[in-house]
Amino acid sequence: MEGTSCRSCGNALLPTDAFCSGCGIPVRARGMDAGSERRTLVQGALSTADRRHCRSCNAPLFPGDAFCAACGGTLAAGNEATLPDSGTKLRSLIEEASQGRYRILREIGRGGMGAVFLADDTDLARQVAIKVLSGGGTDPSTLQRFEREAKTVAQLRHEAIVRVHAVGGLGELHYFVMDYVEGVSLQRLLVDQGPLPIPIVEAVLFRVAAGLAYAHGQPSPVVHRDIKPSNILVDTDGQVILMDFGVAKVGNESVGLTRTGMIVGTAEYMSPEQVRSLPVTPATDQYALGAVAFAMLTGRPPFAGSFYEVLIAHQKEPVPDIRAARADIPEELAEAVERMLAKDPADRWPDLPTLLRDLELRPLSPYDPTTHEMAALSRSLYEGVVRHATTGERTSPDADGGTTGRLRIELSTDQLEVGDSVVVDVALETPDGTRPADGVTWSSDPPGIVRLDSETGELVAVGAGTTRVTARGVGVDGSVDLTVSPAQVASVAIRPDGLVLSAGESVQLEAVALSRGGLPMDEDRTWASSDPSVVAVTETGEVRGLRSGSASVVVYCGAGWAAAAVRVEETSATAMIPAVGTAAPVDTSAPVETSAPVETPVSADSGAVPPPPPPPPPPPPSST
């Protein structure tokens, strides 16, 4: 790029800007370094509290920017957001918002938009989990979904469903308080154990089905829409708890809160109707639970292969013979699971109570041997999730009479990928009790894999590999080994996300792919059109209207995909319209959620009518 100002509006430009931040026109070919110099300057010039970033691509912004210099997104409609707060600041804000009721102990989970903390409820003398959404890092639909999750779960009172106790907020901070479940996910059990014993499978199946039947039977039925092993917890008492109603459908909602490009689960547990963007019903949850039961019995979900192959298999492939994979499965259980996985919802069980009645499944008592076995498995793995590492037990200079002590390191997870951040807590254990360890210094060997803040205890994964993190202080030291995986695509969005074109008109689309830590991902993009006779798309994402009609333009990026609706009219009238179809996680975990056509967001006062739903996205071209 020549010169230092925009030729259109005169706005000052930086060498790595891909778009003018004043008028939004392209000023250079966009690459992975787009906005990099701007990022450095923003981070150096502004405090954390004053920084802003683009909601579309997370690029940093200067005050007064009207367009994002990295992706060209407009900021006039609220596409500007405060950067996620540090773990330390979130802690203090929660305590301030709750007027000191909740005393934050440690962070137990973190995603790109918020975190979960373990806290003491000082009023009721119990431990709780606080799920936080940093409002500055969200748009209205995400905040609306977050608030709806809290209200939905708060109205569900069943022993198999996590309970919500309170909702609160302060400024841009939004949170809700729920049960703290000491245990591990069913996904963790499957990874560690493989196929589970038949009594455990039946116990989990009963408990989750009973909780779902209760939710489905409400005056405004609640359909979970994201049943998968990672959303099912087994606690250290051997009880099963259903979590995460963040994408649930309540009653006959006509407005959906999902967004193009949000990955919220794994394709392995999606029903055929979800893949095809058809309306969801309680039968949708039944299908997903059937896929979970298949995984518990065989150690793997019913369909394997690439992301795209799994989506196609849900719609077209017969369910593999579960008895061929495991000979000891009772015939009636195998037949029940196969019926749960029927392609047509009408061919599944009429409802989950009928399933439980026909299988003669019953709840287990706390003293049942199967309950004890589940509790033992959960406890053994839970102790590995909250990492306790001690080395070099020595005499502590702070202890009277030369009392020995040890340093205990606690992490919320040992499964990190590049871009993740967690808070590391360290405590000094002595015969007189446990107290926070002061004056701790941190190091890692080899360096370059994690970055540690000695003041806040925040750890950021910056490179892939295995490293040993060591804490030293008060005469003792402790260490823990961590493995960091490469960042994976966690969300994909198409910009612009919906168009009305005239025949013969062309527009360049862009696919923005981010990791769960908000890092831009440079994965190969593959573009496709659901109807090439209506809309053609090049390998670089340029779309061209050919004749009147509607079609979906789909982009595949890593394990994620996004779809945007394009309508072609004979007259020239280019305008933005709501997108139809969403690509949904993970987790890296990478499940996908698609919203039904009736859920397409439409402004109530605009009079706009959403375009007809497109056919399901086509598979990507086969690679040679």
pLDDT at 425 over 60: yes
Q: Which residue has the higher pLDDT, 349 or 552?
A: 349
The CATH number given to whatever domain includes residue 106 is: 3.30.200.20
Confidence (pLDDT) at 341: 97
85-123: pLDDT as tens digits: 445 566 677 888 888 888 887 777 655 455 778 888 989
Confidence (pLDDT) at 496: 79
Range of the domain at 326: 191-380
Q: Which residue has the higher pLDDT, 44 or 391?
A: 44
239-272: pLDDT as tens digits: 999 988 877 888 875 444 444 333 334 678 989 8
CA distance 583 to 478: 43
Q: Which residue has the higher pLDDT, 342 or 68?
A: 342
Annotated catalytic residues are: 226
132-148: pLDDT as tens digits: 875 544 556 667 777 87
| 612 Cβ neighbours under 8 A, 6+ residues apart | 550, 597
Residue 168 lies in a domain: yes
The CATH number given to whatever domain includes residue 197 is: 1.10.510.10
Burial annotation 441-477 (CB, 10 A radius, 16+ → b, else e): ebebeeeebbebbeeebbbebeeeeebebbbbbbbbb
Confidence (pLDDT) at 414: 63
Residue 38 lies in a domain: no
463-500: pLDDT as tens digits: 888 888 888 776 677 778 888 888 888 778 888 766 88
271-310: pLDDT as tens digits: 988 877 778 899 999 999 999 999 999 999 999 877 678 8
Q: Which residue has the higher pLDDT, 623 or 542?
A: 542
Confidence (pLDDT) at 320: 94
Residue indicated by tokens 């969005």? 493
364-375: pLDDT as tens digits: 999 999 999 999
Residue 270 lies in a domain: yes
| Token pair belonging to 228 | 């998968």
**What spatial distance separates the first Cα and last Cα of the chain, rounded to whole Å?**
36
Confidence (pLDDT) at 49: 41
pTM listed for this prediction: 0.60
Residue 219 lies in a domain: yes
What DSSP assignment string belongs to 399-436? SGGG-EEEEEEE-S-SEEETT-EEE-EEEEEETTEEEE
pLDDT band at residue 453 using 50, 70 and 90 as cut-offs: confident
Give the count of domains, the chain: 4
Burial annotation 169-195 (CB, 10 A radius, 16+ → b, else e): beebbbbbbbbbbbbbbbbbbbeeeeb
Are both 537 and 454 inside the same structural domain?
no
The CATH number given to whatever domain includes residue 500 is: 2.60.40.1080
Q: Which residue has the higher pLDDT, 444 or 70?
A: 444
Tell me which residue of 314, 306, 317 sits closest to 622, measured CA to CA: 306
Confidence (pLDDT) at 149: 77
Are both 517 and 561 inside the same structural domain?
yes
Mean pLDDT, residues 377-396 taken together: 55
Domain termination residue (choose one: 444, 461, 485):
485
Are both 359 and 256 inside the same structural domain?
yes
